[in-house]
Amino acid sequence: MFKIMRGAGGERVFRAATITALALLALFFFSIIISLLTHTNWDTFIRALVSEEILFAIRLSTTTATIAAIISILIAVPVAYAISRNDFPGKDLVDSLLDLPIVISPVALGAALLVFFNTPVGSAINNNVIRFVFAVPGIVLAQFTVISALAIRLLKSTFDGIDPRYEQVARTLGCSKPEAFFSVSLPLAKDGLIAAVILTWARAVGEFGATVTLAGATTLKTETLPTAISLSLASANVEKAIAVIFVLIIIAIIALLAIRKLIGRRYQI
Amino acid sequence: MIEIKNLSVTFGEFFLRDVNLTINDREYFIILGPTGAGKTVLIECIAGLHRIRQGNIWIDQVEVTHMAPEERNTGYVPQDYVLFPFLNVVDNIAFGLRQIKYTKPRIKERVEKLAAIVGISHLLYRNTRSLSGGEKQRVALARALAPSPKILLLDEPLGALDLRTSKYLRLELKRIHKQLGITTIHITHDLMEAVEMGDRVAIIQNGQVEQVAQPEKVLFYPGSERVSDFIGAPNILDCDSCQSLGQGVMEVGCGNLKLIIPHEGDSVHKVAILPRHVYVSEIRPPGRGVNCFSGNVTSIKYSTSAIRIGIETEGKNLVAELPHHIFEEMDLTIGKEVFLILRMRRIRVYENSEA
């Protein structure tokens, strides 16, 4: 089949095929947004948007996502650096283990966390240290569990792209190993770091499966934006659901624009 | 002084086997060898960038074998300079000075002084991405020299530059070395660079030091057949007469072959010219014909890199090396008469009569 596509004619057919795929996908997403817009009653939309419940969900989602993103980045930086720069027995196994949260369903992760807090150790933590189950810290933990793997993956590819010789040269210029990391590798990783912060934060805002399983879906208590969509649809309040969907779309657009604005096209996700 | 004893290291595909070297204070020491010989691994060991399991390194009588790089006080210029892209030229040079807590006025003074020495005063506020290869090389050199290291390690500093810049920077590096008097180890795979720049040369092949000597000795008395092959098996001619023609030019007699060479000394014991610096022509070249001789082809040897032509002229057998594309344009056969030109500036001279 590929033989008959040789020459300029083949090139045109191939180009048309790839552009058609792109156009179809763009049309698919565009249709979804149009259908949302046509289903929206703007008065109801505005009323839903400024309702106490949605404003609470926005505040809760952004706060918990910010905390989860900060914690995950603080942990992902050393973990990603360690995996990127060191060879050790079982590295592939550890690397694959850290990818698990990306491939496992978030509901399964939430259920696993719930099971953990039913063990003696988990139960002791939940009862005596911080209450996670059906509580706000549970939202942060669920978001952290889901997004940490993403943060590690993004930062590992960033550190992989930084030539270790920058640090070596810094060390011959008088830097200790930690000084070389902070004064050379981290500034070199700036673009990747910014992208990782924004993307993990945006992913945390949109996290639903693990959150609802561990923290529950109690209105004005553990109701995040995705939980609000689920609760609104469950009570057949479509306008409210659409209002929240638009909030999530706006947050996603702001996140992607922020990446473009801050680091331009230098960082390819 | 740097002393390396019984150093054996393996780093990926590269390795060193039982390396022993002594490098004197203020010496410009060249490590010469083919690609993959282990030259870079050797200077990276001196800089402290590899863990050493066998052997020892001393710098000024202090054992540094297991010392961290930051404790060794070496200046390192990697092959592709590795300038910090997020810093401009000034901040690249000042990087090491900030680590040793220089005050701002002292940093400014030191950076300006070094920039003047290496000739980049006009580039100080430029982004490093916008610099040419030669400029980057100078910035990397200034950065390495800034914290006043005891040793300067240069990894193929001229390898990535065009021929003209490279030749100019050879002189500049020697001038800077003379001005600062810093012990310098310079890696290269270019024999002529080694001969022109080095006080002494160590030849490394397959991770082993084959020979350490003054550049002329390496050229005229290769320590082994492998060294001779590596340096291109130069044509070496014994001189039996010499006569100064004034203005730094001398005529030397090697049997019936009379050569004009640039030389200001008293006597010449031997001269050498690499086969790739012997030019061959099928027709008599025009002009006065300095060091131009006629001869007959005695052998033609093919190899993957070049064709080696044996030519008998004035009772001497010389070897010329031609690139494949040049050889293919010529019609050379055994016994054919050809003309040779031995470029005056390419002839190396050995004065001492002791081997």
Res. B181: pLDDT tops 50: yes
Residue B199, Cβ neighbours under 10 Å: how many? Answer: 15
Mean pLDDT of A188-217: 92
Q: CA–CA separation, A152 vs A192, rounded Å?
A: 11
Domain over B236-350 is classified CATH 3.90.550.10 = no
Please, which residues have CB within 8 angstroms of residue A161's CB and are 6 or more apart in sequence?
A192
Cβ of B82 within 8 Å of Cβ of A166? The answer is yes
Contact residues on chain B for A170, CB-CB shorter than 8 A: 84, 95
Structure tokens that stand for A190 in this block: 């700036």
Binned at pLDDT 50, 70 and 90, residue A2 comes out as low
CB contact under 8 A, B86 and A187: yes
Q: What pLDDT band is residue A225 in, cutting at 50, 70 and 90?
A: very high
Contacts of B82 in chain A (CB under 8 A): 163, 165-166, 168-169
Chain B CB within 8 Å of residue A3 CB: no
Interface test with chain B among A169, A175, A183, A263, by most B beta carbons within 10 Å: A169
- How far CA A83 is from CA of A22, A103, B28, B222, B335, in Å, comes to 35, 19, 40, 47, 66
Gap between the Cα atoms of A251 and A202, Å rounded:
7
Q: What b/e string do you get for A176-211 counting C-beta neighbours within 10 Å, with b at 16 or more? A: eeebbbebbbeebbebbbebbbbbbbbbbbbbbbbb
How many beta-carbon pairs under 8 angstroms link A with B?
A: 59
If you count them, how many residues does chain A have?
269
For residues B260 and B256, give the distance between their C-alpha atoms in angstroms, rounded to a whole number.
13
Name the one residue in this structure whose structure tokens are 């001869």.
B295
CB distance A172–B74 less than 8 Å?
yes
Q: What is the pLDDT of residues B230-268, one digit of tens each?
A: 887 788 888 888 888 888 888 888 888 888 888 887 788
> What is d(CA B78, CA A96) in angstroms, rounded to the nearest whole number?
35
Nearest partner of A150 among A183, A212, A180, A192, judged by Cα:
A192
User: Mind telling me how many Å the CA of A189 is from chain B's nearest CA?
Assistant: 10
* Residues of B in Cβ contact (< 8 Å) with A179: 99
First to last CA, chain B: 26
Contact between B199 and B29 under an 8 Å Cβ cutoff? The reply is yes
Which of A192, A224, A260 lies closest to A66, judged by CA?
A: A224
The verdict on A228 touching B (C-beta cutoff 8 Å) is no
User: Which residues in chain A are closer than 8 Å to B74, comparing Cβ atoms?
Assistant: 172
CB A140 within 8 A of CB A112: no
Q: What pLDDT is stored for residue A4 in this prediction?
A: 64
Mutate to test the interface with B, among A173, A190, A263, A266 (most CBs of B within 10 A): A173
Q: Which of A72, A95, A93 minimizes the C-alpha distance to A157?
A: A95
The pair of three-digit structure tokens given for residue B72, joined into one six-digit string: 């060794």
Query: Which of B48, B74, B82 is the closest to A163 by Cβ?
Result: B82
- Is some CB atom of chain B closer than 8 A to the CB atom of A184? yes
Distance of CA B160 to the CA centre of its chain: 14
Q: Identify the bridge partners of residue B316 per DSSP, sorted by sequence position.
A: B313
Q: Is the CB of residue A186 less than 8 Å away from at least one CB of chain B? A: no
Structure tokens at B63: 């054992």
Is the Cβ pair A171, B82 closer than 8 Å?
no
Range in A127-131, A228-232, B169-173, B201-205 with the lowest mean pLDDT: B169-173
Asked if A174 lies within 8 A of B96 by C-beta distance, the reply is: yes
The answer to whether the CB atoms of A171 and B48 lie below 8 A apart is yes
For residue B199, what are the CA distances in angstroms to A73, B27, B28? 53, 6, 5
Strand order in the sheet with B28-32: B74-77, B151-155, B183-188, B28-32, B200-205, B208-213
A80-131: pLDDT as tens digits: 999 999 888 888 898 888 888 888 999 999 999 999 999 999 999 999 999 9
Does A218 touch chain B if contact means CB atoms closer than 8 Å?
no
The complex's ipTM?
A: 0.78
Q: Nearest CA to B60 among B170, B150, B130?
A: B150
Contact B84 A173 (CB under 8 A): no
| Cα–Cα distance for residue pair B231/B213, rounded to 1 Å | 14
User: B205 CB contacts (<8 Å, ≥6 apart)?
Assistant: B33, B34, B37, B226, B227, B230
Quote the crossing angle between the two packed helices B133-145 and B163-180, to the nearest 10°: 20
For residue A65, name the pLDDT band (cuts at 50, 70, 90): very high
| The domain defined by B2-230 carries CATH number 3.30.420.10 | no
Question: How close, in Å, is residue B100 to chain A by CA atoms?
Answer: 7
Contact A172 B47 (CB under 8 A): yes
Q: What is the DSSP string of B140-153?
A: HHHHHHTT--SEEE
What are the start-end ranges of the H helices in chain B?
Answer: 39-47, 89-99, 104-118, 133-145, 163-180, 191-197, 215-220, 225-230, 324-329
Tell me, what's the pLDDT at B352?
66
The answer, yes or no, to whether residue B69 has pLDDT greater than 60, is yes
The pLDDT, as a whole number, for residue B264 is 81
- Radius of gyration (Cα) for chain B, nearest Å? 23
Q: B84–A172: do the CB atoms touch at under 8 Å?
A: no
Q: Is A18 strand, coil or helix?
A: helix
In chain B, residues with a C-beta closer than 8 Å to the C-beta of A166 are 82, 84
Contact criterion met (CB < 8 Å) for A173 and B86: no
Q: Percent of chain A having pLDDT more than 90?
A: 59
Are B78 and A163 within 8 A, CB to CB? no
Nearest to B70 among A166, A175, A187 (CB): A175
Whole-angstrom distance, CA of residue B327 vs CA of residue B35: 26
Quote the minimal CA–CA distance from A164 to chain B in Å.
10
Q: Which of A165, A179, A183 has its CB closest to that of B82?
A: A165
Name the token pair of B216. 């002329």
Q: Which residues pair with A103 in a beta bridge?
A: none
Give chain B positions within 8 Å (CB) of A85. none
Flag whether pLDDT at A1 surpasses 70. no
Average pLDDT of every residue of chain B? 88
Q: What is the CA radius of gyration of chain A?
A: 23
- Whether A169 has its CB under 8 Å from any CB of chain B: the answer is yes
Secondary structure class of B319 (helix, strand, coil)? strand
CA atoms of A238 and A230, how far apart (whole Å):
10
- Residue B35 CA from chain centroid, whole number: 14
CA distance B146 to chain A (A): 9
A268 has pLDDT over 60: no
Domain locations along chain B: 2-230, 236-350
Q: What pLDDT does B315 receive?
A: 85
Averaged pLDDT of chain A: 89
Q: Which residue has the tokens 């002292």?
A: B106
CB A42 within 8 A of CB A243: no
**What is the average per-residue pLDDT within B325-334?**
88
Q: Dihedral sign for Cα B204, B205, B211, B213, please.
A: negative
Tell me how close the Cα of A172 comes to any Cα of chain B, in angstroms. 5
pLDDT over threshold 70, residue A3: no
- Put simply, the answer to whether A188 touches B82 (Cβ < 8 Å) is no
